[in-house]
Amino acid sequence: MEYLTVRETSEKWGMSIRMVNYYLNTGRIEGAVRKKSEWLIPYTAKSPLDIRKKADTKKSTKRKRNVNKCYMPLIASPCPGSFQEFEHSLADEEERQITRALWHYFRNEEKECCTVSEQCFNSESVQIRLAARLVHAMATVQEGDPAAVLADFNAIALENKKTSDPSAKLYTLVTEGFVSVFFHSESADLSVLRDKISLCQAGIQYYVIYAAAHELYLRREYQRAMGMAEAALMMAGNNFPIASIYLNLVLCMICMNLKDDEHADAAFMRAWNIALPEHYIHPFIEHHGLLQGQIERSLREQYPDEYNEIIESVYTFSRGWMKIHNPVSTLQVTDALTPYEFSIAMLASKGRSNKEIAKNLGISLNTVKSYLENIFSKLHISSRSELDMFVNR
């Protein structure tokens, strides 16, 4: 019998290597054998996707009217207990799948996230397809593959154009809003969601408010952003952990810009204490620069393992993020600095004195001066006022 490798099979079937490996590891490819460290697949083996399509010959070649399902259940629904308890409470298989994809993403397991989310690309539910594309795009950023990220964006935009279902239309707008804020789009405008937010599930409402507060932060409307975040946190309580993590992080960002370090510390630690039991560290990776040294200040000594994982991932995530952001933005973000240097540059660009930076990061004044000299040299600048051109807003 003729056998193919995993790569050859992925090319033959027109699917990713990750997806072929998933089918192999779940026993869904008939006749596959494992020899030493690799799989061999019979040349005549049928793709599980083809088998599934043939099993339902009565289905129209056109997609059915949208099957409404929960959009990002891990964020949308109350989840006061453990992830396992929440996952077991979901009756729908696709909702469980997208929930697990989100769980992998927030735990900084981007490869697993991509593998699981890809299984939902052809769902009959717009909400599931949108959630799958969104979390897949965010996870793929860390893999440094801008073409794959843009393919996800195009799929999201196509959903918006072709759907007429009111619920589906709502969640396409929500998804596009999240994308625009995630990549700091200069045209980000979530005002279109103001009269629609009440139609979303509670957890999504809080997540939309996070995105709206983040948008206001980027416009430097800090007081308005603070009011939104604080009000949402009061309502969310402890029932919506993901939304609460993001709301506390944007509140920390705002307080840092207002030089209210005490409240910034409190907001950061609230986010961290919610995230730690499930190892939800990716929100901290996403917001590293915007947190202006809070990660270094709060985690470096007390949580060294988590800190090292976050900083290592900041390298890959930030470079992947810049590949999407920089080509379409007039506000460039530099990739010339280490994460620690970037945090110091952010603090300096926001008007912090060397003494304040030293106090924030727990380092000496001379160390701050040395870092700033290095930063200026790398960026070929001579003053703090020029830092704004190279860092996040």
For CA atoms 245, 251, 252, 253, the dihedral sign is positive
Quote the CA–CA distance of 253 and 245 in Å, as a whole number: 12
The token pair that represents 363 in the structure block: 């380092």
The reported pLDDT for the residue numbered 65 is 59
The token pair that represents 261 in the structure block: 């370090």
Count of CB atoms situated within 10 Å of the CB of 392: 21
Residues 156 and 122 in one domain: yes
Q: What is the DSSP code string of 218-260? A: HTT-HHHHHHHHHHHHHHHTTS-HHHHHHHHHHHHHHHHHTT-
Quote the CA–CA distance of 337 and 326 in Å, as a whole number: 16
Domain final position from 243, 262, 288: 288
The token pair that represents 225 in the structure block: 């952003």
For CA atoms 12, 13, 14, 16, the dihedral sign is negative
Q: Containing domain of residue 41, as a range?
A: 3-51
Quote the CA–CA distance of 69 and 92 in Å, as a whole number: 9
What are the C-alpha distances in Å from 206 to residues 148, 150, 273, 325? 28, 26, 19, 25
Residues 46 and 177 in one domain: no
Residues 109 and 179 in one domain: yes
Which phi and psi (to 5°) does residue 42 adopt? -55, 140
Residue 181 near residue 193 (C-beta atoms within 8 A): no
The reported pLDDT for the residue numbered 56 is 44
The reported pLDDT for the residue numbered 52 is 52
Residues 82 and 47 in one domain: no
- Parallel, antiparallel, or unpaired for β 33-35 and 3-4? unpaired
Domain final position from 265, 288, 311: 288
Angle between helical axes of 126-141 and 93-106 (0-180°, round to 10): 20
pLDDT in tens, the chain (393 residues): 788 888 888 877 777 777 787 678 767 788 888 776 788 888 888 887 665 545 444 444 444 556 889 999 999 999 888 899 999 999 999 999 999 999 999 999 999 999 999 999 999 999 999 999 999 999 999 888 888 999 999 999 998 888 878 888 899 999 999 988 888 887 778 888 888 889 999 999 999 999 999 999 999 999 999 999 999 999 998 899 999 999 999 999 999 999 999 999 999 999 999 999 999 999 999 999 999 999 999 999 999 999 999 999 998 999 888 888 888 777 778 888 888 998 999 999 888 999 999 998 999 999 999 999 999 999 999 888 888 888 877
Q: Is residue 298 part of a domain?
A: no
Q: Is residue 134 part of a domain?
A: yes
Beta strands of 217-364 (E only): which ranges? none
Quote the CA–CA distance of 145 and 139 in Å, as a whole number: 10
Burial 6-28 (b: 16+ CB within 10 A, else e): beebbeebebeeebbbbbbeeee
Q: Is residue 313 part of a domain?
A: no
Instruction: Tell me the residue type at 253.
Output: M
Q: How far apart are the first and last CA of the chain?
A: 60
Q: What is the DSSP letter of 393?
A: -
Q: Is residue 383 part of a domain?
A: no
Residues 41 and 148 in one domain: no
Domain count, the chain: 2
Residues 133 and 34 in one domain: no
Instruction: Tell me the residue type at 387.
Output: L
Residue 356 near residue 311 (C-beta atoms within 8 A): no
Q: Is residue 60 part of a domain?
A: no
Q: Is residue 299 part of a domain?
A: no
Residues 114 and 222 in one domain: yes
The token pair that represents 147 in the structure block: 């073409």
Residues 84 and 42 in one domain: no
Q: Is residue 152 part of a domain?
A: yes
Quote the CA–CA distance of 323 and 146 in Å, as a whole number: 6
Residue 43 near residue 4 (C-beta atoms within 8 A): yes
In the sheet that 3-4 helps form, which strands lie side by side, from edge to edge?
Answer: 3-4, 38-42, 33-35
